[in-house]
């Protein structure tokens, strides 16, 4: 399967004058030049002496003189200013690499920049020569460590500060910041760093480090004020932030509050400011400053698959219907446009309403009405489903959701044409400890759901059970390699015959998010006429090795395994596997994903390969 997609939303694109992807300009002009007054061209050279290969690369990349060599500066003084800024930048790199004895010499037109007059003039018969010479010096290690004040009781080793260990400036800065943050995590909002002294001994190539801090008193959150809100109710913002409950001060809670409000989608910016002093009652006043974004939005999209044909989609939404971030989204799509007969197309239309903070800040109400017409290779089904439910955040990682659902389905599958009217009471539990939803490097994500149902036309009582667990483990200092695995299983219990279960509630596998290399819902038990039946149970497993090849690019070899059975527990009589490799390109909104997979046990007449694209990792 080959798929490609394009989404266009005026809300996202209206301020974009140019856009490039993978270094290719998609729209906008390459001539994004800035007029320079009195332009002066210069020609830089750089010598890094006996620095190792990695340090040479860092220094060269950090030099603005080198990277901007083709861009003129404003006047002769502009050359000198750029050189002085470059020297500070290069010295900072040396300190980050623990080269405290390093020296950076920069000369312009043969004169050291410290010896130039305040308003220099250079010959412009040729680009002004700028020479950078760097003596990296030896690499320093940590010598003596002194923790003073309210840091005295801490173990420096817990912050990567050990005698003889790494002494780069980033290590020292991170250690001091983490120490102060740990004091704040103890409920002390006024904790601040006192002394941070680093003394280099050039005889022993070591640095002695002295750090001190004051912690201040333990305090709770105090009065919360809201600034900048116009259409969104300030009282709702205060309540939804959950900072008005006078719990003990915690920087983590401040971050979670900001993240929580950002996910509402109604604010273009959120900033929670802490007071510089405690209130008379000993609490810490807070100010939530918000800037509201645009509430109405719409978008259109298109996609294409070599197997399923083209598809179109569109949506319209409002993020703040009644002043408390209530959202309404109306969407529709048509897909499978690969024949002249519109009855073979897949259609979907739906409307969804969401009310965050209903009754209590932790609860969210959602209701939807969705109509679908599906025509995968294995069956045809038309359905209309109404659902309503409430999700409740038990804590920072756990969420419980329960509700009701009514679904009417008209199906044409291996059992002929059948109608179903199903009433269900779905309940689900979700635990998510991942460090990043779109590109996790550690943690796990576990889900479990049960959906007791009653099919009214046959009087069938049945329940579906599903669970999944995915885990992630980064390897190396910067998680250059991430091991990712996922397992999932499901079962339908009840109903005397498989045909008593609606085809949309039976289990199939195959396609993206399942067993890659097979087409969508291709993996299934089949009857003697080679018609897909769907199953009562399934088991899936996926394994990936996510390897970063550079800052932006990565490769991901993977294998997916799945089995679907007509029994209530998988019998693994027919195991299908797909294997392949993918590439990832990092973007601010998550990695772009492109996977290529082949089935290791192809069905007769089935697909030979699949190509899958999307945003975020496969799981």
Which tens digit of pLDDT belongs to each residue from 256-299? 999 999 999 999 999 999 999 999 999 999 999 999 999 999 98
* pLDDT-derived band at 302, boundaries 50, 70, 90: confident
Q: Average pLDDT for residues 562-589, to the nearest whole number?
A: 93
pLDDT exceeds 60 at position 374: yes
Query: In 206-333, which residue ranges form alpha helices assigned H by DSSP?
Result: 234-241, 251-262
Q: Are the C-beta atoms of residues 376 and 500 closer than 8 Å to each other?
A: no
* pLDDT-derived band at 36, boundaries 50, 70, 90: confident
**Separation of alpha carbons 272 and 279, rounded Å:** 17
What pLDDT does residue 341 have? Answer: 63
9 Cβ partners below 8 Å, 6+ apart?
A: 297, 298, 299, 300
Average pLDDT, the chain: 90
pLDDT exceeds 80 at position 425: yes
Half-sphere exposure of 90 (CA within 13 A, CB side): 30
* SS3 of residue 505 by DSSP: helix
**φ, ψ at 357 (rounded to 5°):** 65, 35
What pLDDT does residue 15 have? Answer: 38
Is residue 11 within a helix (H) or strand (E), and if so which, with residue range? Answer: helix 10-13
Give the residue from 451, 449, 392 showing the smallest Cα distance to 426: 451
Half-sphere exposure of 523 (CA within 13 A, CB side): 32
Q: Which residues of 567-594 are buried (b: 16+ CB within 10 A; e: fewer)?
A: eeebeeebebbbbbebebeeeeebbbbb
- Read off the DSSP letter of residue 521: T
Question: Mean pLDDT lowest for which of 160-174, 436-450, 461-475, 582-596?
Answer: 582-596
Higher-pLDDT residue of 335, 402 = 402
Rg of the chain's alpha carbons, rounded to an integer?
Answer: 31
What pLDDT does residue 590 have? Answer: 83
**Separation of alpha carbons 519 and 458, rounded Å:** 32
pLDDT digit string (tens) for 509-530?
998 889 999 988 899 999 999 9
**Separation of alpha carbons 349 and 336, rounded Å:** 15
Q: Are the C-beta atoms of residues 170 and 96 closer than 8 Å to each other?
A: yes
Enter the pTM of the model: 0.77
**φ, ψ at 33 (rounded to 5°):** -95, 155
What pLDDT does residue 31 have? Answer: 46
Q: Average pLDDT for residues 9-30, to the nearest whole number?
A: 39
What pLDDT does residue 308 have? Answer: 59
Give the residue from 186, 142, 148, 187 showing the smallest Cα distance to 165: 142
Domains of the chain: 36-135 (3.10.20), 141-214 (3.10.20.310), 221-292 (3.10.20.310), 357-615 (2.40.160.50)
What percentage of the chain reaches a pLDDT higher than 90? 79
* pLDDT-derived band at 489, boundaries 50, 70, 90: very high
SS3 assignment for 119-187? CCCCCCCCCEEEEEEEECCCCCEEEEEEEEECCCCCCHHHHCCCCCCECCHHHHHHHHHHHHHHHHHCC
Give the residue from 567, 5, 608, 617 showing the smallest Cα distance to 302: 5
In DSSP terms, 612 is beta-bridged to: 595
pLDDT exceeds 60 at position 13: no
Place of tokens 């993020």: 319
What pLDDT does residue 8 have? Answer: 38
Give the residue from 486, 562, 488, 553 showing the smallest Cα distance to 522: 562
Q: Are the C-beta atoms of residues 380 and 412 closer than 8 Å to each other?
A: yes
Q: Which tokens is 367 given?
A: 């209701």
């Amino acid at each position: 399967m080959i798929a490609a997609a394009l989404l266009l939303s005026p809300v996202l694109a209206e301020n974009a004058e140019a856009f490039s992807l993978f270094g290719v300009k998609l729209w906008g002009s390459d001539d994004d030049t800035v007029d320079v007054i009195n332009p002066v061209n210069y020609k830089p050279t750089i010598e890094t002496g006996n620095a190792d290969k990695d340090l040479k690369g860092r220094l060269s990349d950090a030099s603005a003189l080198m990277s901007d060599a083709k861009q003129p500066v404003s006047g002769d003084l502009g050359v000198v200013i750029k050189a002085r800024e470059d020297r500070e930048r290069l010295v900072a790199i040396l300190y980050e690499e623990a080269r405290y004895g390093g020296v950076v010499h920069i000369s312009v037109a043969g004169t050291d920049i410290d010896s130039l007059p305040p308003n220099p003039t250079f010959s412009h018969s040729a680009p002004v020569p700028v020479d950078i010479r760097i003596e990296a010096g030896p690499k320093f290690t940590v010598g003596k460590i002194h923790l003073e004040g309210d840091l005295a009781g801490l173990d420096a080793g817990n912050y990567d500060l050990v005698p003889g260990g790494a002494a780069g400036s980033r290590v020292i800065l991170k250690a001091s910041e983490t120490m102060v943050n740990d004091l704040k995590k103890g409920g002390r909002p006024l904790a601040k760093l006192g002394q941070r002294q680093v003394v280099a001994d050039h005889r022993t190539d070591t640095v002695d480090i002295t750090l001190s801090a004051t912690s201040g008193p333990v305090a709770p959150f105090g009065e919360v004020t809201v600034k900048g809100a116009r259409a969104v109710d300030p009282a709702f913002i205060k309540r939804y932030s959950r900072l008005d409950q006078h719990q003990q001060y915690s920087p983590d809670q401040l971050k979670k509050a900001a993240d929580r409000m950002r996910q509402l989608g109604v604010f273009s910016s959120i900033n929670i400011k802490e007071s510089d002093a405690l209130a008379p009652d000993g609490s810490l006043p807070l100010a939530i400053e918000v800037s509201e974004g645009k509430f109405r939005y719409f978008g259109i999209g298109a996609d294409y698959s070599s197997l399923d044909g083209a598809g179109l989609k569109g949506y319209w939404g409002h993020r703040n219907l009644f002043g408390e971030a209530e959202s309404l989204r109306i969407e529709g799509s048509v897909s499978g446009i690969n024949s002249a007969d519109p009855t073979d197309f897949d259609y979907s239309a739906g409307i969804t309403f969401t009310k965050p903070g209903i009754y209590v800040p932790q609860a969210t109400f959602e209701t939807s009405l969705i109509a679908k017409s599906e025509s995968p290779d294995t069956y045809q089904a038309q359905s209309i489903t109404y659902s309503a439910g409430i999700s409740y955040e038990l804590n920072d990682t756990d969420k419980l959701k329960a509700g009701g659902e009514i679904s009417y389905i008209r199906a044409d599958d291996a059992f002929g044409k059948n109608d179903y009217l199903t009433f269900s009471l779905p309940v689900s539990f979700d635990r998510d400890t991942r460090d990043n939803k779109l590109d996790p490097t550690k943690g796990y994500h576990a889900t479990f759901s049960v959906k007791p149902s009653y099919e009214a036309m046959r009087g069938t009582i049945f329940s579906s059970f599903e669970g999944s667990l995915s885990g992630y483990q980064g390897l190396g200092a910067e998680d250059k390699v991430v091991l990712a695995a996922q397992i999932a299983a499901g079962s339908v219990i009840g109903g005397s015959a498989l045909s008593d279960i609606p085809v949309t509630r039976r289990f199939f596998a195959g396609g993206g998010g399942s067993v890659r290399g097979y087409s969508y819902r291709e993996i299934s038990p089949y009857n003697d006429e080679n018609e897909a039946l769907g199953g009562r149970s399934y088991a899936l497993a996926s394994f990936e090795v996510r390897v970063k090849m550079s800052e932006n690019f990565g490769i991901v070899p993977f294998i997916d395994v799945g089995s679907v059975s007509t029994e209530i527990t998988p019998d693994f009589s027919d195991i299908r596997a797909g294997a392949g490799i993918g590439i990832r390109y990092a973007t601010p909104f998550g990695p772009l994903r492109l996977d290529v997979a082949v089935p290791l046990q192809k069905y007769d007449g089935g697909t030979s390969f699949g190509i899958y694209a999307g945003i975020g990792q496969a799981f």
